[in-house]
Chain A
């Protein structure tokens, strides 16, 4: 390999087909006692002078004549090499000077510099990744082990995105369990019930995490009393989830305080209070309709025995555990109410220091997050100790602000240019890298960007996990009859 050109932070390197370098690979451009660390973001054909004419000539003569070559020296293989010579478009990621990582940049010599591949394991060692608390993610294309430091997820905003079926949920489970290994509290807003069997192995046995996984299914094993609900939380539910207008909200607040003062905060008490409260009939109607909506969710109960305290649940998983809030089978409105409650409760617990911090994994959050939460997540909630990981296959469902503030992005394959445009707004990487590498990632390969890799984008194949993921789509033909009547089962 030989250095050919430098334009800004882009280096162009010539290589022959045998010197396999693929997108995502790292190269070292050694120049005397210092080296540039560059990453291949695109592989193109080198613009060999006259190659177009030669290809046209070959094409024409192949059409006209066929024959054989007596090539005793085997030079034709070298011709093929020259014709297929590649131009590696690389981005400068860093430099090494005196054995230390540096941000210095310089123009290396074209004739004297040496270009060689650097294994991901060597790079990771140089970057001192994974550090003290490794979470093994998988392996690089060169089979190097890829692990990240759990600390680099601490206090961070993360995004896992990619098109359907590329392995996003799988990675999020891997990260969640990796955090649990180091005693972290993880709350998962599980839209499709994919996380409910995290405590079981693929063959259905209980796994090492079994006792540290708590699955909360609203209206089933997850019900709360109104007394457990603070005024702030219920007001948020009424206003943001149920769309209660301002005037009615003021009346509702008065009713709530009245019931609280009289120790009568029950669903039944609330309904009765609305019925007899002296207020405008239109306000009463508005309050009644919201009350019935609340009551119909089945999430609120007057039974102390049935009710569950989120604080107690989180206390149970202290020392490492996952609380899965199963949002499956809930209507969009019910989902919003439950999420509003859970987030409100987490904020309460964190504000009162009953909880140190929590890692929140939110799948397709646009389906249950209210508008104002997006800014909250990157500012207020983050400072309180809610460290969110968004998982989505619709990059445009997250606001641009989230991308710009994201500390880590785990990017799976996208082929749609619009999706890539959205992700490329992330501040921690150049748009070219995102667009050129992500669109050719095979399934289960992930481009890792951000703090976890110290801003050295790394492509990793995410390892398999011996847990029941339930992330697979139900198929009609999975267990179907073949035309000849033989029952087949998809593997």
Chain B
């Protein structure tokens, strides 16, 4: 392993790791030699509403037949220098091994008007898909009810074929385009690599604010690319993000949207403030999880009981730190 640079981080909860895998961007090969275009940015002094949408989900507990999860979404917008928000949720779902995928498909058909697979390896991880559905619904509402706005979402514009949410994404982009809105999709941690390095590290050498347009990305039958892919370094801090912008828009319109974002929102640590706030407002805290558990136990008569860990019982203090804690 000599010559390897990086950092070491303790392994996290395996469930969390699985969730991030499910929630993350699909793998996308980059053709070599790739084409990278450096685009310096200046704020475009044109007033526009900047709207950020984010959702989160959390497992509240387990029942004999599945899991109970909660999802919540937040829409944050900035107009006249002020931030406002609309927070929806928490919405609770009892996802059983048997009925969970069926429930999701039914809701997707009804609310997104599309069908497709759940796209998760385990039914217990369906909570991510329920949160994704809420995310999509909120974005669709924002796209249809505003005009000439910049809509920020968390995630990429790459879709797997057969995935219901992926199938619904073109409709969302179209709805936004029809009203002059532009959807900018920010990915905090990307798996896109070039010559073995994460694409976001490419922006480190360039003067911010700037975009690096990555061209030459391969698509396949399974993976569709609905957006132009950029690396965005919007602040002086050494943070850059993958940014996807609707492929159907002309390149200049995509760049202008980012310039309008620079003019109309705060950029803190290279990340738009509305999207940061949307994330903060949608994320569940420990107290909120306790409160939801209290609601569930009061409303449905479920008892909150500690779940015995078979590993901890077997290995005691000789297990891993997670088992022994």
Q: Residues of A at under 8 Å CB distance from B?
A: 48-51, 53-54, 57, 61, 64-76, 78-79, 81-83
Contact = CB atoms under 8 A, between A and B. Distances in A.
A80 to B, nearest CB: 8
Contact of A69 (B82, B87, B286, B295): B87
Given A71-B89, A79-B287, A82-B291, 18 more contacts: A48-B287, A48-B290, A54-B286, A61-B280, A61-B281, A64-B277, A65-B85, A70-B89, A71-B87, A72-B91, A73-B92, A73-B295, A75-B288, A75-B295, A79-B291, A81-B291, A81-B294, A82-B290
Contacts of B273: 64
11 contacts: A48-B286, A61-B281, A65-B76, A65-B84, A67-B84, A70-B87, A73-B91, A78-B294, A81-B291, A82-B290, A82-B291
Contacts of A67: 76, 84-87
Interface of B: 76, 82-92, 273, 277, 280-281, 285-288, 290-292, 294-295, 299
A53 B280 CA distance: 12
A50 B83 contact: no
Nearest to B85: A67
B295 A50 contact: no
Contacts of A53: 285
B293 to A, nearest CB: 9
B86 A70 contact: yes
A109 to B, nearest CB: 14
Contacts of B85: 65-68
A365 to B, nearest CB: 55
A65 B295 contact: no
B287 A82 contact: yes
A51 to B, nearest CB: 6
Nearest to A63: B83
Contacts of B288: 75, 79, 82
Q: Which 6 A-B residue pairings sit nearest by Cβ, starting from the closest?
A: A67-B85, A65-B83, A78-B291, A50-B286, A79-B291, A70-B88
Contacts of B87: 67-71
A355 to B, nearest CB: 66
A54 B287 CA distance: 8
A70 B299 CA distance: 19
Contacts of B84: 65-67
Contacts of B295: 73-75, 78
Nearest to A64: B83
A75 B280 contact: no
Most buried by B among A61, A72, A79: A79
B144 to A, nearest CB: 18
Of B85, B91, B285, B286, most A-chain CB atoms within 10 Å: B285
Nearest to A66: B84
B90 A61 contact: no
Contacts of A72: 91
A83 B285 CA distance: 11
Contact of B286 (A49, A65, A73, A76): A49
Contacts of A51: 287
Contacts of A82: 287-288, 290-291, 294
Contact of B287 (A68, A71, A83): A83
Nearest to A79: B291
Given A50-B286, A54-B285, A61 B277 contact: yes
B290 A71 contact: no
A79 B83 CA distance: 24
Contacts of A64: 83, 273, 277
Contacts of B90: 71, 73, 75
A288 B287 CA distance: 83
A75 B289 CA distance: 10
Contacts of B86: 67-70
Contacts of B277: 61, 64-65
B88 to A, nearest CB: 5
Contacts of A54: 285-287
A65 B285 CA distance: 18
Q: Select the residue from A65, A69, A73, A83 with max chain B CB neighbours within 10 A.
A: A65
A71 B88 CA distance: 6
A16 to B, nearest CB: 8
Interface centre among B84, B90, B92, B290 (most CB of A within 10 A): B290
B316 to A, nearest CB: 21
